[in-house]
């Protein structure tokens, strides 16, 4: 019985080590969100007020928040010193399109790539 318990314990240790390795190999949500935010910001640089859009979509056009209304972007300026940008979410999968300083936006994306996103 003691031998059998030892075998089971060793098997569980091996299994948990393998399982932990698999989990650690996955990118964290923040890394995925940082990649998505970066790709969105690249896409946003190509958009104009006349770019096709779907009703309800949000984007950045010429540094302004753009909302698709009746198939056309309506632009709203950000506050002075701020520009429209896509940022990675911290606690769940996705991105947000908002106004931020270019320096803060770059910092948030950089931290998210390292799975150490800024929460406030």
Low-confidence ranges of the chain (pLDDT < 70): 1-26, 117-120
**In sequence order, what are the beta bridge partners of 64?**
61
**In sequence order, what are the beta bridge partners of 66?**
59, 75
Q: What is the pTM of this model?
A: 0.74
Q: Residue 86 falls within a domain, yes or no?
A: yes
State how many domains the chain has.
1
Q: Residue 4 falls within a domain, yes or no?
A: no
pLDDT attached to residue 16: 53
pLDDT attached to residue 18: 45
**Structural domain containing residue 74:** 28-113
Q: Residue 10 falls within a domain, yes or no?
A: no
Q: Residue 42 falls within a domain, yes or no?
A: yes
Q: Residue 50 falls within a domain, yes or no?
A: yes
Q: Residue 64 falls within a domain, yes or no?
A: yes
């Amino acid at each position: 019985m003691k031998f059998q318990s030892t075998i089971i314990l060793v098997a569980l240790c091996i299994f948990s080590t393998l399982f932990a390795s698999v989990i650690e190999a996955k990118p964290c949500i923040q890394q995925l969100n940082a990649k998505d935010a970066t790709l969105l910001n690249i896409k946003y640089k190509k958009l104009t007020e006349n770019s096709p859009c779907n009703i309800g979509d949000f984007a950045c056009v010429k540094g302004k928040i753009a909302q698709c209304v009746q198939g056309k972007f309506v632009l709203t300026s950000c506050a002075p010193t701020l520009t429209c940008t896509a940022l990675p979410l911290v606690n769940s999968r996705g991105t947000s399109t908002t106004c931020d300083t270019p320096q803060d936006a770059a910092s948030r994306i950089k931290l998210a790539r390292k799975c150490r996103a800024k929460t406030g």
